[in-house]
Structure 1
Amino acid sequence: MATPRTEAGPAAASPPALWDPVVRLTHWGIAAAVLLNAALDEGGSLLHVAVGWIVMALLLLRMVWGVLGPDEARFAAFPPNPLAALRHLRQLVSGRVRHYSSHNPAGALMAYAFWAALATVTVSGLVMTGGATPMQVAADKAAVASGDWSALIRDSEGESDRDDAFGEAAEEVHEVVANLLLILAALHVAGVALESRAMRRNLVAAMLTGPRQK
């Protein structure tokens, strides 16, 4: 196997000195939330709803940071480009490694796919719960546990067949995209492992602690 080598050129750049705290917080916060909702809690539970709101907050923070954050965190530093992503993967397989000032093209495409899927899951979840906050869900569950079913009766009043169909469609989208997120996560982990080996740099450690190894 050919020894990986760096490729110089006008498009090449040195990696940033570090990943800033907001990028790291949103990355690992969203990763933990996706795994938690997939492995530990049930749909519709208080924990599931609470985690969904946390994901929405982290996603919104990352979107704002993509406009106002440091250069390597901004969307302009890693625009989605499928052709560039394919070129990067071919270069990676052939042993040629190019440094980027932010995410490489394949990583950038994965990031945008993640964000689109997270936005879809969040919006469909809000539709399914009627926009209920964790506090509202907790109050309703406590009322039902005490024998007061008025909350459920109140929520069902005024529902039409159209609303039911819309809710069922949202639930279907929610489940499909939630599973898609797990597939994207697996591909992301595999890509990071391959890139780390080719570049001889611990990309996971960089996202955990900030500094990126030379």
Structure 2
Amino acid sequence: MGRAPSLKTDPAGGVKPPVWDPLVRLSHWLVALAVLVNGLIDKPGAALHVGLGWAVLAIVLVRLGWGFVGPATARFASFPPAPFKALSHLGGLARRQRPREYPSHNPAGAMMVYTLWALLLTVTLTGLVMTGGRSPMTIAADQAAVNSGDWSALVKQAPAEDDEGDSDGGKIVGAIHETAANLLLILAALHVGGVVVESRALGRNLVRPMLGRGKA
């Protein structure tokens, strides 16, 4: 494996706060918007819900690829998963100690990021299984046909749905999908809370760099 990417330091020798590149910023906010819409607003199984799921899967895969070839702050080598360091970081915050600056995500933030990515992949992949990999356009067409009184699209799917084994498997996949989606919303709320706490502890606004505005 190659060396970790070099990271800039300030004139005093400390680590500069991260400056997130456009792809990281765009993927962050697009995924956040999609999660809010699908989790709190949109109807499960609707064409928009499925379409956003496909979009999130694509965005996450692009972001994961960016973790190998993107700039230093975006690379996995800059924020490796370190559970014990994450606990130490959180313990310092609980004791109201000023946390050290990191060139990318701090250890607790890194663990949150990896967990959120895992949940996003779980939600989107189980969603694909639940919809049989159908595209949003196909689902929209089926729903339009049903609304117009043409139930043939659903009738064609009936034999597969009547199979007991498939039904049990579908229930398991559905339970995993729902559980992961709920955990995703809970962790997203904790993530926002963590950003607020860390911002106060550091004395700077951690949201500004994610908006492309640099250090507060």
Report if TM-score (shorter chain) is over 0.5.
Answer: yes
Equivalent residue number for residue 149 of structure 2: 147
Aligned equivalents of 1:205 and 1:13: distance in 2? 18
Letter in 1 for 2:140: A
Distance in 2 (CA, whole Å) between partners of 1:101 and 1:87 is 18
Q: Is the 8 A contact 2:46 2:140 kept in 1?
A: no
Aligned residues with identical type, % of pairs: 56
Aligned position for 1:135 = 137
- The separation in 2 between residues aligned to 1:170 and 1:158, in whole angstroms, is 15
Conserved 8 A contact 1:80-1:109: yes
**Structure 1 residue 157: Cα displacement:** 3.0
Give the partner amino acid of 2:183: L
5+ residue gaps, structure 1, are 1-11
Q: State the shift of 1:21 in Å.
A: 0.7
Residue 88 of structure 1: aligned partner: 89
Report the CA distance shift for 1:28/1:145 in structure 2 as closer, same or farther (over 3 A).
Answer: same
State the shift of 1:63 in Å.
0.8
The answer to whether 1:97 aligns with 2:99 is yes
The secondary structure found in structure 1 opposite 2:133 is coil
Q: Name 1:191's counterpart in structure 2.
A: 194
Q: Distance in 2 between matches of 1:148 and 1:118?
A: 34
Superposed CA deviations along residues 114-161 of structure 1, whole A, max 9, x for unmatched, are 001111111111111111110110111122222222211222234421
Per the alignment, residue 211 of structure 1 pairs with: 214
- Tell me, yes or no, if the aligned pair for 1:143 and 1:151 is still in contact at 8 Å: yes
Q: Tell which has more relative contact order, 1 or 2 (C-alpha 8 A, sep 6+).
A: 1
Q: SS at the partner of 2:211?
A: helix
Moved segments of 4+, more than 6 Å:
none
Deviation at 1:210, TM superposition (A): 4.8
Counterpart in 2 of 1:117? 119
How far apart, in 1, do the equivalents of 2:160 and 2:140 lie?
23
The reply to whether residue 157 of structure 1 matches residue 173 of structure 2 is no
1-side partners of 2:201 and 2:186: how far apart? 23
* In 2, Cα distance between equivalents of 1:158 and 1:192: 46
Offset at residue 46 of structure 1 (A): 1.4
The answer to whether the Cα contact below 8 Å between 2:80 and 2:110 also exists between their aligned partners in 1 is yes
Question: For 1:146 and 1:89, how far apart are their aligned partners in 2?
Answer: 55
Give SS of 1:96's match. coil
Match of residue 33 from structure 1: 34
Asked if residue 181 in structure 1 is aligned to residue 178 in structure 2, the reply is: no
In the superposition, the TM-score normalised over structure 2's length comes to 0.88
**How much has 1:179 moved relative to structure 2?**
0.7
What is the RMSD of the two structures over their aligned residues, measured on CA atoms?
1.4
Q: Secondary structure at the match of 1:53?
A: helix
